[in-house]
Amino acid sequence: SGINGSGKSTYLKQIAIIVLLAHCGSYVPAEEALIPLTNRLCARMMTADDQENNISSFMLEMKETAFICNNATSRSLILLDELGRATSNEDGVAIAWAVAECLLAKGALTYFVTHY
- Tens digit of each residue's pLDDT (9 = 90 or more) over 38-81: 999 999 987 666 677 778 888 889 999 999 999 999 999 999 99
Residue 55: give its domain's CATH number.
3.40.50.300
Domain residues for the domain of 16 are: 8-113
Q: How many domains does the chain have?
A: 1
Q: Is residue 56 part of a domain?
A: yes
Contact between 47 and 9 (Cβ < 8 Å): no
Between 7 and 62, the more confident residue is 62
- Give whole-number Cα distances, 67 to 60, 71, 73, 113, in Å: 11, 6, 12, 18
